[in-house]
Structure 1
Amino acid sequence: MTHLAYLGFGSNLGDSQALILRALQCLEQKVFGKILAVSSLYKTLPVGGPADQSDYINGCAAIVCNLEPLQLLEKMRAVEEEFGRVREVLNGPRTIDLDLLLFDDQLVSGELQVPHPRMHTRSFVLRPLFEIAPFAIHPILNRTIAELLFDLEGIIPLQSSSARELEGRKILVTGSTSGIGMACAVELALAGAKVVFHGRKPLDKINAYLDFAANCSGFSRYIQADLKSEDGCSSLIKQAWDDINGLDGVLLNAGADILTGEISQMNVDQKFKELIQVDLHSTFSLAREFGKRMKLAGKGVLLTTGWDQAVTGFKGDSGEMFAAIKGGVMNFSRSLSLSLAPEVRVNCIAPGWIKTSWGETASEYWQQKAKEECPLQRWGEPQDIASAARWLFSDKSSFVSGQILAINGGIV
């Protein structure tokens, strides 16, 4: 089972900012988990300990993993030891300090106490935690982090900062149970959006991600629908629009996995039919229906998902299939942008070599090919797509519509 944990971190020895970044990366690897968010860093005065020690750099992070609380604590202590943490003086200087603040909504007592017994009394915990989880609830005090911060300091921001530019907007992300879709859903939640997740299978392994989104914006929802069928598309439209009273944005990311999933064993014609149904037909139907409703509502943003090499061409069965399907999506998106303007903006994101499930297991040949073709000499990450989606949904891109945005490290 996947769990959501919030950590506090601090350092006042050495290059603290670099140590914190490396320690979080190390922890992510040790727990086989995923760091979902890291707050801003805060310079704070020491609390207790020697009078002559340096100021601290503090912050908070959210992580998902499959470990239980004591197992996670063991990994955190291993990271501290690896980075030179010495426990000789109470509240003394340290290279890295990792504290487990919250773990799902669990209460833990004994050697480890969760929630952290002093977190609600410390500004250097609540301020950074407010950035990434303002709606997270303290399971003993039954108050949100925002409320606890107000109790402690008597002030919390009422207006969204530029870091939460999508505050309150309702956005559906199809195909958001893994990879690019999951990264986009998480990033939009961090921007304050009320995210509706979607997947083909029953909710299982993404509970922690839904909790994270709810802690960011006070809302999250999961809708199961198979977009290969008309009934599945109709069900998604009803649940995502009618049941939550409209949407402000839609990212149509769902696609058939013909490279690593069950479909990879099918013949070319069968794979092509899957792509037509899921990647092309459902995008066409959903974009038109959601777009029509947004236009009537007087506002909205639609994003579709293309492929950069649908323009340049890519040899082989997969290249031919994806070029035909994604080329259709890209050109459809341009036309739809004209039909829905000026009320609704429509753009298409065209990823290049992005390290999703196929990229993680690709042979050395493909690993090198991707790097050699990319002027920036690396694979793209799902987060690269998520950052672009966040911008396209925001008012900062209010004069951008009808565009195909290739995110591919400079391939032209």
Structure 2
Amino acid sequence: MAQIYISLGSNIEREYHIKHGIISIANAFDIAIEAMQLSSLFESKAIGFDSDNFYNMVIGLECDISVEEVASMLKKIEIAHGRTHQDKKFSPRTLDLDLLLYDDLIIEKPAQLPRDEICYNAFVLWPLSELAPQSLHPILKQSYQELWQSYDKSSQQLEIVANCW
């Protein structure tokens, strides 16, 4: 079984899409929501463009499918929630799902793993550090808790909206 972490983000009907994103992931992996690790829900400003604030969180779960299947499954869930992949990189999102980690795999395709965003965006690193504080980043060999502690928290404003779902 592989331990995976997925980031969820939305700034269009964000509460609806985050909740239904969690349900869709549970259904796709055929597991109960209670069997998944759920970070706190965070609110952050859009980065790189002017738009409504985002809700973001991270989900952790174990799966026995390949990284290619996981990446494909996440794209299908995004599309089912109204996401089109013709969208510009910096644009509003109904549901944005990114595979952050698949065990300690280091690859570029079908997804960049570990995802660069882990170290650059507070809305990814903080929730990941909640779920996997002692796990080591496969390249940097630092724990996510250490990475979060040394992160420049003044660079991005982030607030906890809810501690659990």
TM-score bucket (shorter structure): 0.7 to 0.9
In the TM superposition, what are the counterparts of 1:64-213 in structure 2 within 5 Å? 64-87=62-85, 88-153=87-152
2:163 aligns with none
* Length-normalised TM-score, structure 1: 0.35
Structure 1: where are the runs of 5+ without partners? 155-412
CA distance in 2, matches of 1:60, 1:118: 12
2:20 to 22, 29, 46: 22
Instruction: Kindly indicate whether structure 1 or structure 2 has the higher relative contact order, using CA contacts under 8 Å at least 6 residues apart.
Output: 2
3-state SS of 2:97 partner: strand
In the TM superposition, what is the alpha-carbon distance from 1:122 to its structure 2 partner?
Answer: 1.1
Residue 130 of structure 1, CA deviation: 1.5
Q: Deviations over 1:137-168 (max 9, x none)?
A: 100010100111122137xxxxxxxxxxxxxx
8 Å CA contact retained: 1:130, 1:145: yes
Find the aligned partners of 2:74 and 2:110 in 1 and give their Cα distance.
14
Question: Which amino acid in 2 is paired with 1:46?
Answer: A
Identify the residue that residue 37 of structure 1 maps to in structure 2.
Answer: 37
* Contact in 2 for aligned 1:32/1:65 (Cα 8 Å): no
Equivalences, count: 151
- String of CA shifts for 1:62-106, please: whole Å, max 9, x gaps: 011111111101000100000111232222101100111111111
Shift of 1:33: 4.1
Name the structure 2 match of 1:6.
5
Structure holding more strand per residue: 2
CA contact (8 A) 1:60 1:129 kept: yes
Does the aligned pair in 2 maintain the 1:26–1:79 contact within 8 Å?
yes
Task: Please give the alpha-carbon distance, in whole angstroms, between the structure 2 residues aligned to 1:142 and 1:59.
Answer: 23
RMSD over equivalenced CA pairs, Å: 1.7
Tell me the distance in 2 between the aligned counterparts of 1:3 and 1:18.
Answer: 28
Q: Larger radius of gyration, structure 1 or 2?
A: 1
Contact 2:67/2:110, CA 8 A, preserved across alignment: no
> What is the percentage of aligned positions where both structures have the same residue?
27
Read off the aligned partner of 1:57 and give its amino acid letter. Y
Cα pair 1:86 1:94 within 8 Å, conserved: no
Q: What TM-score results when the alignment is normalised by the length of structure 2?
A: 0.85
Q: Distance in 1 between matches of 2:119 and 2:31?
A: 26
Q: Deviations over 1:327-369 (max 9, x none)?
A: xxxxxxxxxxxxxxxxxxxxxxxxxxxxxxxxxxxxxxxxxxx
In structure 2, the partner of 1:205 is none
Structure showing the higher helix proportion among its residues: 1
Tell me: CA distance 1:33–1:65, structure 2 relative to 1, closer, same or farther (3 Å): farther
Cα offset, 1:133, TM superposition: 1.2
Report how far residue 29 of structure 1 moved. Answer: 1.4
1:108, 1:47 → 2: CA distance? 25
SS of the residue corresponding to residue 133 of structure 2 reads: coil
**TM superposition outliers: structure 1 runs of 4+ over 6 Å:** none
